[in-house]
Amino acid sequence: MFSLFTRKASSVPAESVQATPKKISFEDYLAITEVDYSIVGHSRIEDMPMSEFVAMMSSHKFLGDPLVRTQHLLGASKYERVSDTEVIGHHQIRAAHQRYTGPDRLTVENRGHGHSFIKHWYRKVDGVWKLSGLCPQVYWNEHNFEKIFVELKAEH
């Protein structure tokens, strides 16, 4: 469902090395520390363990809803080296969402596409770069975005 990219530490500066794609398990992905999804109905959480992040994102009220399909496309990306162990990634993103009327996904009930920017914080842990925080900023939505995550909206 989800694949991340890691890079082993080296003596070459981070900005001059291309990352080598390597799939890792969520069990290896323990560095989440700050999540701010308040823009889509969740609260800002300053210290969130990986297991809680995965549970939140895959919840039936959010991306785990069987009636919802999404595709997130990254556009321009820029990385800012803060220190030898911290990097901030700035990413342009377009997220297409469709909500279907039933589990057969034959009829689209609503579309909602977001145009946004997302900031990712990365931290080197035991020589491996890991995601340590994220915060999206939505510039605008198309169609009926507010009708995609209906159960999430009902709580807020």
List active site positions: 72, 97
Contact 51, 30 (CB under 8 A): no
Contact 120, 32 (CB under 8 A): no
**Residues 141, 86: Cα–Cα separation, whole Å:** 31
- The structure tokens 């496309």 sit at 73
* CB atoms inside a 10 Å sphere around CB 14: 19
